[in-house]
A and B are shown apart, each in its own frame.
Chain A
Amino acid sequence: SYVLTQPPSLSVAPGQTASITCGGNNIGSKNVYWYQQKPGQAPVVVNVDRDRPSGIPERFSGSNSENTATLTISRVEPGDEADYFCQVWDSTSDHSYVFGTGTKVTVL
């Protein structure tokens, strides 16, 4: 089955840039989606294959190439502290949906 690997944690100061990576075999050939999950809440999609859903700040952007996809949060704010998960659709495995291992972003 397809595996997506993320760093467990990332710390960033307010106003700085956070780059969250998602590694997968030839992930550059897939559409990648990113979710933000705050404690006790359901995940919310913040990036849809390099685009932002309506209502998501421009500070959130995505990129994807070869074996790594990246979610970049510019001008980080305290409210961005959350867990972030990447996700792909795996057409080769019975139309499965695969999530990354998750990254906890801490705003210092």
Chain B
Amino acid sequence: QVQLQESGPGLVKPSETLSLTCSVSGGSISTSGNYWAWIRQPPEKGLEWIGSIYYRGSTYYNPSLRSRVTMSVDTSKNHFSLRLSSVTASDTAVYFCARLELLPGAIFPYYFDSWGQGTLVTVSS
């Protein structure tokens, strides 16, 4: 059973860059068919997909955040990362990392089957 754990600063200043890492255990980040994602949830609000990445480097970003998002994978450390630039108070949220698994016969992974516990990031001066 794969497990995911987010880490990074809990407080970021406005206009700076938010950086988070998701460590994967119980499985390899390089497993064929596994994609990795970031999702966020502002306090008392719904879920928003930020982006996804495949271990070979292919990335897919939410069009509304694309200009500010960068995701990367480090296979040697079995983790993947998120950078969100020029943050404002509206980026305050719990950030989750998650796995998407490409099922047999599917053309793309369709849902998030494993999640990290989430980490709260507050944007404030």
User: Which A residues are within 8 Å of any B CB, using their own CB?
Assistant: 1, 31, 33, 35, 41-45, 48-49, 53, 85, 87, 89, 91, 93-102
Digitize B48-75: 1 where CB-to-A-CB distance is under 8 Å, 0 elsewhere.
1100100000001111100000000000
Docked-complex contact B62 and A96, CB < 8 angstroms: yes
* B interface, over-half SS: loop
> Nearest residue in B to A91 (C-beta to C-beta)?
B108
A18 to B115, CA, bound (A): 26
Given contacts A94-B61, A96-B49, contact A33 B111 (CB under 8 A): yes
Question: Hey, which chain B residues are within 8 Å of A35, CB to CB?
Answer: 47, 112
Question: Hey, which chain A residues are within 8 Å of B47, CB to CB?
Answer: 35, 43, 85, 87, 99, 102
Q: Tell me how far the C-beta of B101 lies from the nearest C-beta in chain A, rounded to whole angstroms.
A: 11
Given contacts A95-B52, A95-B108, contact A42 B60 (CB under 8 A): no
Q: Which residues, 75 to 125 on B, are CB-close (under 8 Å) to A?
A: 96, 108-113, 115-118
From B60, B109, B112, A96 is in contact (CB under 8 Å) with: B60
Question: Hey, which chain A residues are within 8 Å of B113, CB to CB?
Answer: 45, 53
Flag whether B37 is at the interface (Cβ < 8 A).
Answer: yes
Flag whether B46 is at the interface (Cβ < 8 A).
Answer: yes
Docked-complex contact A43 and B115, CB < 8 angstroms: yes
A94 to B49, CA, bound (A): 12
Question: Hey, which chain A residues are within 8 Å of B61, CB to CB?
Answer: 94
A96 to B49, CA, bound (A): 8
Given contacts A94-B61, A96-B62, A100-B46, contact A89 B110 (CB under 8 A): yes
A35 to B96, CA, bound (A): 14
Q: Which 9 A-B pairs have the closest CB atoms?
A: A42-B115, A33-B111, A97-B49, A99-B47, A102-B46, A95-B60, A89-B110, A101-B46, A31-B110
Q: Tell me how far the C-beta of A95 lies from the nearest C-beta in chain B, rounded to whole angstroms.
A: 5
Q: Tell me how far the C-beta of A18 lies from the nearest C-beta in chain B, rounded to whole angstroms.
A: 19
Question: Hey, which chain A residues are within 8 Å of B46, CB to CB?
Answer: 85, 99-102
A45 to B113, CA, bound (A): 7
